[in-house]
Amino acid sequence: MTNLTSLENKRLIFVGGKGGVGKSSTSSAIALHLSERITQSGQHGKILLFSTDPAHSISDSFSIKIGEIPTRITDTLDAIEVDVNQLMYEFKGEHKNAIQELLTKSANLDEKEAERAIELAIPGIDEFMSLVKISTLIDSNTYKTICVDTAPTGHTLKLLSTPNIVNNWLIFFSGLHNRYKGIMRTFIGTDPKNIDGFIKTLSDNVYRSYKLTTDKEQTEFLIVTIPDLMAIEETKRLIINLYSSGIKVNNIVVNNIQPNNDCVFCQARRNHQNRYINAINIMYPDINKIYMPLFSTDVNGLNHLRAFENILFS
């Protein structure tokens, strides 16, 4: 077993895995550790813990109410529980006129139909808004590293695939717009600059988000799992999907391992878990594994998180 010190050189860390395996505890402990390293090394900067999980848990992890704007945890650590509905509302508000023009002039919808279309959810757009928010924060250089507590596996895969989904949507409407913008300018008297600007903004965001998630130098995807059948199977599917998207996994945290002791039930439980621990070692010989014991208490509040952190980075 080696440690996770390589994470200190990353700009963006995604923490993913099945629901209920300890992603929030792990991402909170990683963010806390990285923030403390800044202080210990006498460097400048801050770390951001960013939750994309609709059922946010990092407030529970720190026992602090965390909102959709950066909430201070320590001098070098902030946290956000993003509200994707608010991000979507702001996006639609900023680009409503351009979207309405695109739908009425290029897609030939009447104004009422365009209004209804704007209110509809675009598949994948919620997750895309989260990626855009993260990439904007990265570009601002406000934070040295952003650690993302992701939703369970299905949502996470959707999050990482949204640049392609939105790009396909963008290609369709861009082609439609290019076909009709000459007509719009000549016969309708409409200047398509508003739509051109919207399409360029969206296109730039797609490019930035894709580049960010696939950047092996700056971005790390760490998986959290537990030694049981369903978690191992889901981990396998997640790794396959990540690899097919060009995202390499360097670290797996195997959480909730039953400590060895004289309790008969505990021994039986550990023997059962050993089957899956061995399976992980065989399936992923080139991936670093970090083994975390089952804690006797909830991992919440700074004291418990630091105990978790100390083992995670020991």
> Mind telling me the catalytic residues?
53
Q: Cα–Cα distance between 104 and 58 in angstroms, integer? A: 43
Do residues 269 and 258 lie in contact, with contact meaning Cβ atoms separated by under 8 Å?
yes
Q: Please, which residues have CB within 8 angstroms of residue 52's CB and are 6 or more apart in sequence? A: 82, 84, 127, 130, 148, 149, 150, 151, 155, 159
Report the distance separating Cα 252 and Cα 248, nearest Å: 12
> How many C-beta atoms lie closer than 10 Å to residue 216's C-beta?
10
Token match 């418990």: residue?
304
Distances (CA, A) of 116 to 50, 100, 113, 194: 32, 10, 5, 20
CA–CA dist 156, 14 (Å, integer): 9
| Amino acid occupying residue 304 | H
Chain centroid offset of residue 73 CA = 20
- SS3 letters for 146-186? EEEECCCHHHHHHHHHHHHHHHHHHHHHHHHHHHHHHHHHH
DSSP state for residue 192 in the 8-state scheme: T
Which of 8, 6, 13 shows the shortest CA–CA distance to 52? 13
Handedness of CA 163, 168, 172, 175 (dihedral sign): positive
Specify the DSSP class assigned to residue 188.
I
- CA-CA distance, 275 to 257, in Å (whole number)? 12
Rounded Cα distance between 300 and 92, Å, is 37
Q: 48 - beta bridge partners?
A: 78, 146
